[in-house]
Amino acid sequence: MRTGARDLTAFQKNILVVLAEEPRYGLAVKRELEEYYGEEVNHGRLYPNLDDLVGEGLVEKSELDKRTNQYALTDAGVEAVFDDLSWALGKFIANDERAERIREIVAANE
């Protein structure tokens, strides 16, 4: 099992971010990603990646009913998102102007 998001693809990281908001069933994850990408997300791309994230212990899969699974971040998944954000922000915030823009984004989403 990995200890963070470092070996994940951008698509897998985006799945984690979608699930960070709240647990969702597969088609709800698909819709969120389609809104972000501005194009259709193929089932053949989404579900194998969800399964990989479950296998890595970053996402938990549970059955809502006989046909629908729900996906939620595990504690390790939350830590993977934090790890990725921390690394990216540590590289990105190179000056006061960028730091202020990040503070504005955080404040707008509180």
Residue 70's domain is classified under what CATH number? 1.10.10.10
Cβ 19 vs Cβ 73: under 8 Å: yes
Output the CA torsion sign for 46, 50, 52, 58. Answer: positive
Cβ 18 vs Cβ 10: under 8 Å: no
Q: Is 90 exceeded by the pLDDT of residue 106?
A: yes
Q: pTM of the prediction? A: 0.89
Residue 2 belongs to a domain: no
Residue 44 belongs to a domain: yes
Pull the structure tokens for residue 34: 């389609």
Q: What are the pLDDT digits (tens) for 4-42?
A: 678 899 999 999 999 999 999 999 999 999 999 999 999
Rg (CA), the chain: 15
How many domains does the chain fold into? 1
pLDDT > 70 in the chain, percent: 96
Alpha-carbon dihedral angle through residues 53, 23, 105, 96, given to the nearest 10 degrees: -40
Domain encompassing residue 46: 10-108
Top-confidence residue, 86 or 6 = 86
Q: Is 60 exceeded by the pLDDT of residue 68?
A: yes
Match 């939620």 to its residue by tokens: 72
Q: Is 90 exceeded by the pLDDT of residue 64?
A: no
Mean pLDDT, the chain, as a whole number? 93
Q: Is 80 exceeded by the pLDDT of residue 3?
A: no
